[in-house]
């Protein structure tokens, strides 16, 4: 047990970088109420009956392999003990976390599980991530090696996809809505306002960022994916596996089935509504094929001015990698481009770090570069040669030696003058950083760097070969992701709720111990009728264990009257009765 953080750790969790560990919280298993346990049991019993026919074959086997049972909410400790055998782990978090952080957890083969559970009134579906969705949805399919590798690779690519400010605004809006919907007693007006904000952001006509496209791919595969034959597909997406309503409705002809392709990256979705179309992949290996095709479109592989512009627009920490292999991580704020859109100068603001092969260069962390970093790029004028391509003879001819005064001009017109202090070379022996003192850097009439600023660290590189979100070395930015200021709401329970939980506990004990106490069942039935007009699940729990035919009839009549008053309960109640009858027939 990690005593400082209060959560159970293991070697998979220990290896996570600090900026991810900030999102991990204890599961606090004792906080699950008897009603929570009954919600889990209802959903899981229904899922196993229906999904045994409609889910991918990995689902049922995966439940067992990942330590997820039907009768009670799984503990993280138990799940991790079993997940370890297939090379994965799980951690609890507080609802939605930032998109890049979520992807990075996946890259480390760690399942992120929102440990809260949906309220009874949202039992069919909730936009909030909860333990039903995360553990009973995601975990079972991970037992399939092909799918597990796809999930890891998706996280690896997604963690480097560049976001936009719109992405973060939408993330915060969805997080707020999910929290309000699951907070007991939240005024409907407040929920509606939060939903309106999500819809407003979803409906905005904005250019899709790399993360938005990645999020679409994740949604149409990991969350809402179908697999197999187009005419008779099976479910593998966690959003469908954990939704007892949509897992059935999605198979109807009303929901369009589309062959999965890279086009899914451009298909938006509405998290608050059932999906009007779903994508079908022929097998899990095809998911990897499409992901590879998509990865080739990202700045992490293409670099250039477009990648740098995306980092500037994101207003978040990102990294560029130069042709020498040198990596610069920080908040990029400026780029000077040629007419051909080639980057000839870049600048960051605030803490910046330099790295090579994902390892911070000694002496070039954020403490040394606390106020930003800038440098020209490109080839030198007249000789059409980049510094990185110079051999010993060229370097000597142009005074690129320690202690020599340098004065040179780039093809772009950027001029540099200063005393060469020292240089840092890469593994191939090429210069990738030159330190100059008494340095002046100018472009046209603008001074880009002056001697009074101190030492000028000039990176060597003719072009940007890669641009991606996050830091090259995660140790450079231990607080890379900022946790949301909107936290899960823990409401105060009323006296009536406390009493209702006790009744759930009593019924569970009678069922588990196979105790026959018809008087107690009748007593609780009468209390429910007089005190809890909206309660329906506990009636089903009583109906499951009573042998009293009069009580059975009374419960059925009461549930029928509830359906007449609230038709939305029809499927839940009727299917709950169907589950009970199927189990009774099995026992008989």
Q: What is the pTM of this model?
A: 0.86
Listed range (107-121, 228-242, 457-471, 480-494) with the worst mean pLDDT: 480-494
Coil/strand/helix, residue 143: coil
> Rounded CA gap, 125 and 239, in Å?
9
Listed range (28-32, 118-122, 286-290, 483-487) with the worst mean pLDDT: 483-487
For position 38, what pLDDT does the model report? Answer: 95
Residue 213 token pair: 């496209």
DSSP 155-187: HHHHTTSPP-HHHHHHHHHHHHHHHHHHSTT--
For position 1, what pLDDT does the model report? Answer: 43
Listed range (70-79, 116-125, 145-154, 305-314) with the worst mean pLDDT: 116-125
Residue 473 token pair: 């070395």
Mean pLDDT of the chain: 90
Architecture of 11-293 per CATH?
Answer: Orthogonal Bundle (1.10)
For position 385, what pLDDT does the model report? Answer: 79
> Rounded CA gap, 166 and 367, in Å?
30
> Rounded CA gap, 562 and 451, in Å?
80
> Rounded CA gap, 223 and 117, in Å?
18
Q: Long-range contacts for 49-54 (Cβ within 8 Å, ≥24 apart)?
A: 49/579, 49/582, 50/244, 50/247, 50/248, 51/235, 51/241, 51/247, 54/234, 54/235, 54/247, 54/248, 54/251
Angle separating helix axes 570-587 and 549-565, nearest 10 degrees: 160
Residue 339 backbone dihedrals phi, psi, to 5 degrees: -65, -25
Q: DSSP code of 441?
A: E
> Rounded CA gap, 352 and 325, in Å?
17
CA dihedral 277→281→286→289, nearest 10 degrees, is: -10
Domain edges within the chain: 11-293, 302-476, 495-587
Distance, CA of 340 to chain centre: 37
Digit-coded pLDDT (tens) for 126-165: 666 788 887 888 888 988 999 999 999 999 999 999 999 8
Distance, CA of 326 to chain centre: 29
Architecture of 302-476 per CATH?
Answer: Roll (2.30)
> Rounded CA gap, 165 and 126, in Å?
25
* pLDDT for residue 123 is more than 50: yes
Instruction: Classify residue 138 as exposed, middle or buried by CB count within 10 Å of its CB (0-12, 13-18, 19+).
Output: buried
């Amino acid at each position: 047990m990690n005593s400082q953080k209060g959560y159970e750790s293991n070697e998979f969790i220990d290896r996570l970088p600090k900026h991810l560990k900030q999102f991990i919280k204890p599961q606090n298993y004792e906080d699950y109420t008897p009603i929570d346990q009954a919600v889990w049991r209802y959903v899981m019993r229904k899922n196993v009956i229906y999904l045994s026919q409609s889910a991918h074959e990995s689902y049922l086997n995966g439940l067992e392999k990942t330590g997820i049972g039907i009768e009670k909410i799984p503990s993280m400790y138990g799940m991790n003990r079993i997940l370890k055998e297939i090379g994965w782990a799980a951690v609890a978090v507080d609802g939605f976390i930032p998109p890049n952080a979520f992807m990075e957890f996946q890259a480390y083969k760690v399942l992120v599980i929102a440990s809260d559970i949906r309220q009874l009134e949202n039992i069919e579906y909730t936009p909030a991530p909860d333990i039903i969705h995360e553990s009973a949805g995601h975990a079972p399919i991970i037992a399939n090696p092909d799918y597990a590798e796809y999930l890891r690779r998706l996280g690896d690519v997604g963690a480097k996809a560049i976001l936009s400010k719109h992405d973060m605004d939408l993330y915060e809006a969805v997080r707020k809505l999910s929290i309000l919907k699951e907070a007991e007693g939240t005024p409907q007006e407040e929920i509606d306002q939060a939903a309106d904000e999500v819809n407003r952001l979803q409906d905005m006509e904005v250019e899709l960022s790399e993360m938005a496209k990645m999020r679409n791919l994740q949604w149409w595969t990991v969350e809402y994916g179908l697999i197999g034959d187009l005419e008779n597909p099976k479910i593998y997406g966690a959003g469908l596996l954990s939704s007892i309503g949509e897992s059935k409705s999605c198979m109807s002809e009303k929901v369009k089935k589309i062959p999965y392709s890279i086009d899914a990256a451009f298909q938006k979705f509405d998290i608050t509504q059932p999906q009007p179309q779903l994508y079908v992949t022929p097998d899990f290996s095809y998911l990897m094929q499409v992901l590879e095709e998509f990865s080739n479109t990202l700045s992490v592989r293409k670099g250039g001015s477009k990648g740098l512009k995306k980092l500037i627009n994101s207003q978040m920490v990102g990294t560029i990698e130069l042709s020498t292999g040198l990596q610069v991580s920080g908040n990029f704020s400026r780029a000077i481009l040629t007419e051909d859109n080639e980057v000839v100068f870049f600048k960051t603001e605030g803490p910046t770090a330099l790295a090579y092969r994902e390892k911070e260069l000694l002496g070039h962390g954020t403490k040394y570069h606390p106020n930003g970093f800038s440098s020209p790029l490109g080839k030198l004028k007249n000789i059409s040669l980049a510094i990185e391509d110079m051999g010993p003879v060229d370097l000597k001819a142009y005074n690129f030696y320690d202690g020599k005064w340098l004065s040179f001009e780039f093809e772009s017109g950027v001029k540099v003058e200063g005393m060469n202090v020292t240089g840092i070379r890469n593994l191939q022996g090429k210069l990738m950083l030159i330190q100059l003192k008494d340095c002046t850097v100018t472009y046209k009439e603008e001074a880009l760097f002056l001697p009074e600023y101190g030492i000028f660290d000039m990176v060597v590189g003719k072009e940007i070969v890669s641009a991606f979100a996050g830091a090259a070395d995660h140790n450079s930015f231990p607080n890379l992701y900022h946790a949301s200021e909107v936290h899960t709401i823990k409401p105060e329970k009323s006296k009536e709720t406390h009493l209702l939980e006790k009744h759930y506990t009593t019924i569970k004990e009678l069922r588990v111990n196979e105790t026959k106490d018809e008087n107690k069942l009748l007593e609780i039935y009468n209390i429910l009728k007089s005190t809890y007009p909206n309660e329906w699940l506990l009636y089903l729990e009583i109906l499951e264990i009573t042998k009293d035919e009069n009580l059975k009839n009374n419960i059925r009549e009461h549930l029928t009257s509830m359906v007449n008053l609230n038709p939305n309960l029809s499927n839940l109640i009727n299917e709950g009765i169907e589950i009970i009858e199927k189990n009774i027939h099995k026992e008989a």
